[in-house]
Amino acid sequence: MDATAVQAVFQDKIEQDLKIEPKDPMPDRYRAHLIRQISQHAHSEVIGMQPEGNWITRAPSLRAKQILLAKIQDEGGHGLYLYSTAETLGISREEMIEQLQTGKAKYSNIFNYPALTWADIGAIGWLVDGAAIVNQVALQRTSYGPYARAMFRICKEESFHQRQGYEIMANMMKGTTEQREMAQDAMNRWWWPALMMFGPHDKDSAHSGDAFKWRIKRKTNDELRQKFIDKTVQQAEVIGLTIPDPDLKWNETKQGYDHGEINWEEFKRVINGNGPCNKQRMEHHIRYHEEGAWVREAAAAYHEKFPTD
């Protein structure tokens, strides 16, 4: 099939709102866009294990430790699932990891911020997973079949994480003065980076045009951000947390909140490598990947010698 025919068959399916499956004809640019997006999604799950993993050994109760361990395990599972999804498009996990480690592929900018106190574990679950869900629920209707199905499964687990994170914050807000201060401090530090997770304003968004045409994306960055803000402000009020935005106010006409200016300078700076943890996250990933090389080599050699084992 030549490129024009591929394009015609493909666009016809898209118009009918049918899912594109791995063996279906698809334009190269659609494939490349998906590989970029899905691998970035997978890398985000994996790099996200670092800030949360930072608190596993210090979790304050056996229950909290189990919940956190289970959550991080879920994230790792999502990573595996998404790597497999990307592999259906003709790229290997090794290639994706190499792209991550050489900086060609990105991961969610949010994980370049540090998890400093136990309240950050609450804030990450509540705000970061909360923002991720809003994005991922929209992606359940994305045009690439395997990606859409991955999102169904992932969303179920993420909503559980979000509740757990909120529970940590709620408990701390019912606790001692120090705990309440810790919770508010985490809120102050994570709120704005969480809003940035939805990406630039629609008018400045570089990848959006094609993504809409191909129905990979169905809602705009600003629509999704608005949805997140509207549900989160109320949740914060219920437990007595203040949103660190003096310009935040209810807009009766649009039936949603207006928010203050997002610091896009910071966003660009961190995305381009100069955030609090960019170097640390990548060094960690590379270090343990390299330290594990002899194990992967041993497993491969064993498999070669004893293929049926």
Work out whether 238 is an interface residue with another protein (CB under 8 A). no
Per CB under 8 A, which of residues 169..208 are in contact with another protein? 171-172, 175-176, 178-179
| 69 sits near another protein (criterion: CB under 8 A) | yes
Please, which residue, 140 or 179, has the CB nearer to another protein?
179
Spell out, one character per residue from 269 to 288, where the chain touches another protein: x when CB under 8 A holds, - when not.
---------------x---x
Binds another protein by CB under 8 A, chosen from 66, 92, 242, 251: 66
Which of these ranges, 63-71, 198-206, 240-248, 272-280, lies near another protein under the rule CB under 8 A? 63-71
Q: Segment near another protein (CB under 8 A), from 21-29, 136-144, 150-158, 300-308?
A: 300-308
Among 25, 27, 76, 200, binds another protein (CB under 8 A): 76
Should residue 113 be labelled a site residue for another protein when binding is judged by CB under 8 A?
no
SS (H, E, C) the chain: CCHHHHHHHHHHHHHCCCCECCCCCCCHHHHHHHHHHHHHHHHHHHHCHHHHHCCHHHCCCHHHHHHHHHHHHHHHHHHHHHHHHHHCCCCCHHHHHHHHHCCCCCCCHHHHCCCCCHHHHHHHHHHHHHHHHHHHHHHCCCCEHHHHHHHHHHHHHHHHHHHHHHHHHHHHHCCCHHHHHHHHHHHHHHHHHHHHCCCCCHHHCCCHHHHHHCCCCCCCHHHHHHHHHHHHHHHHHHHCCCCCCCCCEEECCCCEEECCCCCHHHHHHHHCCCCCCHHHHHHHHHHHHHHCHHHHHHHHHHHHHCCCC
Which among 27-35, 134-142, 223-231, 291-299 is the span making contact with another protein, rule CB under 8 A?
A: 291-299
Site residues for another protein per CB under 8 A: 46, 49-50, 53, 56-66, 69-70, 72-73, 76-77, 79-80, 83, 118, 168, 171-172, 175-176, 178-179, 284, 288, 291-302, 305-306, 309
